[in-house]
Amino acid sequence: MKVTIRGSGVAGLCVAAELAGRGHEVTVTDPAGGPGAQGCSWWAGGMLAPDCEGFAAEEVVIRLGRAAADWWQAQGARVIRRGTLVVALGRDRGELDHFARRTANHRWLDRAGIAEAEPQLAERFDRALWMSDEAHLDPRATLLGLRDRLAARGVRFTTEPCDGGRVVDCTGLAARAALPELRGVKGEMMVLRAPEVALTRPVRLLHPRFPLYIVPRGDGVFMLGATQIESGERTRASVRSVMELLSAAYALDPAFGEAELAEIGTDARPAFPDNLPRVTDLGGTLYVNGLFRHGFLLAPALARMAAEALEGHAKPELWHEHHA
Amino acid sequence: MPVFYGTDIASRLMLGTAQYPSPAVLAEAFRRSGAGIATVSVRREAGGGQQGQDFWSLIDSLGVTLLPNTAGCHSVREAVTTAQMARELFGTNWIKLEVIGHADTLQPDPFGLVEAARILTGEGFHVFPYCTEDLVLCDRLVTAGCQVLMPWGAPIGTGLGLNNIYGLRSLRAHFPDVPLVIDAGLGLPSQAAQAMELGFDAVLLNTAVARAGDPAAMAEAFAGAVAAGALAHGADPMPPRDMAAPSTPVLGKAFLA
């Protein structure tokens, strides 16, 4: 089958990979020519953390998300499987218990356990939750790598609008005119160069007001994220947000105080009212959208659903008919 | 049922709109709570003006009265500007006025609050001040033109309940005709019931519902508690007393021992 995919963010590339893997003739069209800063997955954390996300997300996110790490690895992405550490500062210890009650697949680490996993954290924390099954990847390297591998496999990338064959729209917030329920949820993130910090796996710092996650990118580079603000604004990182993220990072490890502030990024995540992604059929065009904060975690599952829908199999789990 | 600035509200429960897992869960919590008023934060979402429009439309579609707030404002000037922005964005002159005086406890700044209330009342706003239970402060707020008072039960987000029962009871007694709303600090439905039993007109919650494992169920639980507490207050509860008093007369006992 001939399929044109609009958009080369994480959703578009995953659908392209899934369809190309099934032998279809795939073209990806994006005004920017390929993945880049125009798509919000460029700014993502890249955590494949279904267990942690289970704190606030629905069961389907956890279940579908569990397959993500294997899918990415099978696509040739560099998936780092070192789990996630979850910590809280002294007076927020209750937050950690609360988090533990609402999540599964974890075990408690004491100071010795933390020292074994992340020695630098053991000075400041004597208790952590360890989600051992979780993984992470570098979103930008992953997107660019996948694009190259797809191109090598014959997937065509173009900046021209294509109208051959079936169309799968993966344009995120740009599809708002067709998907009126879609809204933007602003996120601000930062990249720090902190050679003195030696974290090797994602760490989440629970805090009632300023929660934070830090994802190591290797070579002393760390991504700090992310705010979650009900706004479609895609630019303008506020001083307040930056201060909150940096304060939390500094509280996690004072060595971040000496870090170089390499980047401040802002974009808006596309989300539906239930914050769950959907495959929507609108007059023959399939829309894969609403991945919210779960782009790398859920795009593989959504890509499979979109492919099955195109091939005429049973309607996928997160399927939405259009009701005009 | 409470009357705020001449407007009848059909519920004694008011809900905030932050921190829910999703807008869909938020909407379900409102449906099951029957809440009559939704507070909405202008400040954090307001960068660039209309950018928060999608979320605000979702809240608007709940069909409840909107009460924009100045959450996160730490100065009089910020609070006044935010209130003006809220009036423009939401087309209402109602404003829940927060002027935070202490970054850690989020305790109101009583001095800034009175000043901001005076300015905003002068500009035609109907001010709902987030305050402490301090009698003198509340008196100044009423003098400044506030016709509703919103004392805290405990600091925002703590879930500690009513920290100063004496002060709140005293506030109720001193302001019998001013609608009083417990704002902030409630964590459990029993605490909301207690506020109603003390004769408060309404309660406003956010975290207790939004951060519950099942926000919609918790919202309904609060609605039940608020209804029970208000009914009990209207039913004139018996006074507590030190001596046991059997509800069935004890026969065959001749002495008052």
Q: Give the tens place of pLDDT for each residue, A62-79.
A: 999 999 999 999 999 999
Chain A partners within 8 Å of B21 (Cβ): 56-58, 275
Q: Is B207 annotated as a binding residue?
A: yes
For A171, phi and psi rounded to 5 degrees?
Answer: -100, 10
A2-76+136-182+273-310 folds as Rossmann fold (3.40.50)
Domain B3-235 - what CATH class? alpha beta
Q: Please say whether the beta carbons of A167 and A99 come within 8 A.
A: no
Instruction: Note if the pTM is more than 0.80.
Output: yes
Q: Please say whether the beta carbons of B20 and B26 come within 8 A.
A: yes
Instruction: Categorize the per-residue pLDDT at B255 as very low, low, confident or very high, splitting at 50, 70 and 90.
Output: low
The residue annotated as part of the active site, out of B12, B96, B126, B172, is: B96
Q: Is B187 annotated as a binding residue?
A: no
Contact A273 B213 (CB under 8 A): no
Q: Rounded to whole angstroms, how far apart are CA atoms B14 and A162?
A: 51
Closest residue in B to A229 (Cα) is B45
Residues B122-151 as b/e (b if ≥16 CB within 10 A, e otherwise) read eeebbbbbbbbbbeebbebbbebebbbbbb
- pLDDT (tens digit per residue) in B88-128: 988 999 999 999 999 888 999 999 999 999 999 999 999 99
Is the per-residue pLDDT at A323 higher than 60? no
Cα radius of gyration rounded to whole Å, chain A? 20
Q: Rounded to whole angstroms, how far apart are CA atoms A100 and B46?
A: 34
Nearest CB among A102, A238, A275 relative to B213 is that of A102
Chain B partners within 8 Å of A231 (Cβ): 45, 47-48, 51-52, 55
- pLDDT (tens digit per residue) in A148-197: 999 999 999 999 987 779 999 999 999 999 999 999 999 999 999 999 99
Q: Which of A231, A234, A238 to mutate to test the interface with B (most CBs of B within 10 A)?
A: A231
Residue A56 DSSP label: T
The CA distance from A241 to the nearest CA of chain B, in Å, is 10
Letter for the amino acid at B143? T
Q: Is B79 annotated as a binding residue?
A: no
Instruction: Categorize the per-residue pLDDT at B69 as very low, low, confident or very high, splitting at 50, 70 and 90.
Output: very high
Kindly report the CATH number that applies to the domain delimited by A84-132+183-271.
Answer: 3.30.9.10
Q: Where are the domains of chain A?
A: 2-76+136-182+273-310, 84-132+183-271
Q: Rounded to whole angstroms, how far apart are CA atoms B66 and B53?
A: 14
Q: Where are the domains of chain B?
A: 3-235
Chain A partners within 8 Å of B48 (Cβ): 231, 233, 236
Least confident of A156-160, A199-203, A244-248, A312-316: A312-316
Instruction: Categorize the per-residue pLDDT at B45 as very low, low, confident or very high, splitting at 50, 70 and 90.
Output: low
Q: Rounded to whole angstroms, how far apart are CA atoms A97 and A92?
A: 9
B96 is catalytic: yes
Is the per-residue pLDDT at B253 higher than 70? no
